[in-house]
């Protein structure tokens, strides 16, 4: 009996220590890129590099975008099996980085800039209750080019 109990405890220990199951998955390729041509067509420069010619400093700009968080109500079986209950579920919409780039461009032009240098896009997150929401932070140095 003692050996049976020991074997059972060892079995439970190894089962409980097992990590997540490994499964076969298809190859995934993620590509991230931003098209600045609509700003370039307007004579506005956006670059992650420094601007090496003459310019006037306008200001530093940071735009943080958070997606909307939506609530849905789902009817699920009551845990005791006696009927159904409503369960609130929350989910965040997808981030639209193009919208955030439009916003930093608008802020820069409103300040009198015709370029953003040291342009950077950084993922960020914050908690909304128990839901982690993914956002994006865009920053840059707004300048007015001379010449």
Instruction: Kindly report, residue by residue over 77-92, the tens digit of the pLDDT.
Output: 888 878 888 888 999 9
How many domains does one find in the chain? 1
Q: Look at residue 134 and tell me whether its pLDDT is greater than 80.
A: yes
Return the HEC string of the chain: CHHHHHHHHHHHHHHHCCCCCCCCCCCCCCCCCCCCHHHHCCCCEECCCCCCCCEEEEEEEEEEECCCEEEEEEEEECCCCCCEEEEEEEEECCCCHHHHHHHHHHHHHHCCCCEEEEEEEEEEEEEECCEEEEEEEEEEEEEEECC
Domain residue limits at 44: 28-67+94-145
| CA-closest candidate to residue 140, choices 54, 66, 47 | 47
Dihedral (CA of 93, 99, 103, 104) sign = positive
61 in a structural domain: yes
Tens-digit pLDDT profile for residues 44-80 = 999 999 999 999 999 999 999 999 999 998 888 888 8
CATH code: domain of residue 59: 3.30.110.70
> CB of 81 within 8 A of CB of 93?
no
Place of tokens 């530093």: 60
75 in a structural domain: no
14 in a structural domain: no
33 in a structural domain: yes
21 in a structural domain: no
What are the backbone dihedrals phi and psi of residue 63, each rounded to the nearest 5 degrees, phi first? Answer: -120, 125
7 in a structural domain: no
16 in a structural domain: no
> pTM higher than 0.75, yes or no?
no
């Amino acid at each position: 009996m003692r050996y049976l109990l020991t074997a059972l405890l060892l079995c439970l220990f190894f089962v409980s220590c097992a990590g997540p199951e490994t499964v076969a998955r298809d190859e995934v390729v993620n590509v991230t890129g931003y098209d600045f041509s609509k700003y370039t067509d307007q004579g506005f420069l956006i670059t992650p590099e420094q601007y090496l010619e003459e310019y006037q400093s306008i200001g530093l700009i940071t735009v943080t975008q958070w997606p909307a968080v939506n609530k849905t109500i789902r009817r699920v079986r009551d845990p005791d099996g006696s009927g159904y209950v409503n369960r609130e579920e929350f989910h965040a919409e997808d981030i639209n980085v193009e919208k955030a780039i439009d916003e930093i461009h608008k802020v820069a032009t409103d300040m009198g800039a015709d370029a953003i240098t040291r342009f950077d896009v950084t993922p960020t997150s914050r908690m909304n209750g128990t839901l982690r929401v993914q956002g994006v932070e865009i920053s840059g140095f707004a300048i007015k080019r001379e010449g």
